[in-house]
């Protein structure tokens, strides 16, 4: 039986209860081919590749989500509501603000500030504070500790704008103790809350906004092994 979505040609049952979601579909392919056992591709629509396989014998899926909240909002909504997915763990990249954070560090977003109007779709009578699921957060931190992988847990900013016209945008959020900037967490934290599901955002630091440091495109696609190891060991 097909599921009625124009963005995913998987059938109900093709996708595991837990989905790892990088932004880049090629990173999803890399993870499936290098970390999963017997991966099967379930989606090729718009080249937003998705795969289901096993890790240590347990089923898990990995699927690209695209860049920005409009894209991730669509894919996470459909996974939660059309495919019976319970947990989505974003495994992405972010730009760091904090002086203590280095390239390649693993940041886990306990909360996600945002400049997006996505929350208006829920017609709430006030301001909403998007946060992760505590159970997923604790499991990720405990797993990283067991593996000897350092994590930094705190607040991030999920922005709609990659090229801000405000030259002080990053500095203003940095002053509030925000660890860094990415573009997706707040949106799917809201979707998870609204539909009674679970979400967590883990990001490997790809660049440092205030030190003019950055990983190469190839390193972004293949170099986040610590983050992948934590995600798979914790959630598969």
Series of mean pLDDT values for 10-residue runs along the chain (236 residues): 80 97 95 96 97 98 98 98 98 96 95 97 97 98 96 98 97 98 98 98 96 85 81 96
31 within some domain: yes
- The two beta strands, 213-214 and 87-96, are unpaired
CATH number for the domain harbouring residue 42: 3.40.50.1580
Rounded CA-CA distance 201/190 in Å is 12
Q: What is the length of the chain? A: 236
Q: Is residue 8 assigned to a domain? A: no
- Establish if 77 belongs to a structural domain: yes
Query: How high is the pLDDT of residue 217?
Result: 75
Residue 117 is a catalytic residue: no
3 falls within a domain: no
Which position among 84, 115, 160, 207 bears the catalytic label? Answer: 207
Is there a domain that residue 2 lies in? Answer: no
Residue at 90 is within a domain: yes
Report the pLDDT value the prediction gives residue 219, as an integer from 0 to 100.
75
Question: Which structure tokens are listed for 209?
Answer: 């906004």
**Residue of 93, 125, 110 whose CA lies nearest to 23:** 93
Q: What is the pLDDT of residue 135?
A: 98
Q: pLDDT value at position 216?
A: 86
| Total tally of structural domains belonging to the chain | 1
The contacts of residue 108 (CB under 8 Å, 6+ apart) are 132, 137, 140, 141, 151, 152, 153, 200, 201, 202, 203
pLDDT tens readout for residues 161-213 = 999 999 999 999 999 999 999 999 999 999 999 999 999 999 999 999 999 99
pTM of structure: 0.95
| 118 within some domain | yes
Task: Confirm whether 4 is domain-assigned.
Answer: no
**According to the model, what pLDDT value does residue 224 have?**
83
Rounded-to-integer distance, Cα 188 and Cα 75, Å? 9
Domain ranges, residue 185: 18-235
């Amino acid at each position: 039986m097909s599921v009625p979505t124009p963005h995913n040609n998987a059938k109900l049952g093709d996708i595991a209860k837990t989905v790892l979601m990088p932004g880049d579909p090629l990173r999803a392919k890399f993870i499936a081919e290098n970390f999963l056992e017997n991966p099967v591709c379930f989606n090729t629509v718009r080249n937003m590749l998705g795969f289901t396989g096993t890790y240590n014998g347990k089923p898990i899926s990995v699927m690209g989500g695209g860049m920005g909240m409009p894209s991730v909002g669509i894919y996470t909504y459909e996974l939660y509501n059309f495919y019976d997915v319970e947990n989505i763990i974003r495994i992405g990249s972010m730009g760091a603000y904090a002086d203590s954070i280095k390239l390649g560090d693993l940041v886990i977003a306990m909360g996600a500030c945002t400049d997006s109007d996505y929350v208006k779709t829920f017609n709430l009578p006030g301001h909403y504070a998007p946060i992760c699921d505590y159970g997923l957060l604790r499991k990720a931190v405990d797993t990283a500790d067991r593996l000897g992988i350092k994590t930094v847990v705190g607040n991030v900013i999920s922005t709609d704008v990659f090229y801000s016209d405000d030259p002080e945008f990053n500095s203003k959020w940095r002053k509030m103790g925000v660890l860094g900037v990415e573009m997706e967490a707040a949106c799917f934290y809201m979707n998870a809350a609204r539909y009674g599901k679970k979400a967590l955002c883990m990001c490997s630091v790809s660049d440092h906004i205030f030190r003019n440091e950055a990983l190469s495109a190839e390193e972004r696609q293949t170099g986040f092994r610590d983050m992948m190891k934590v995600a798979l060991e914790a959630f598969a």
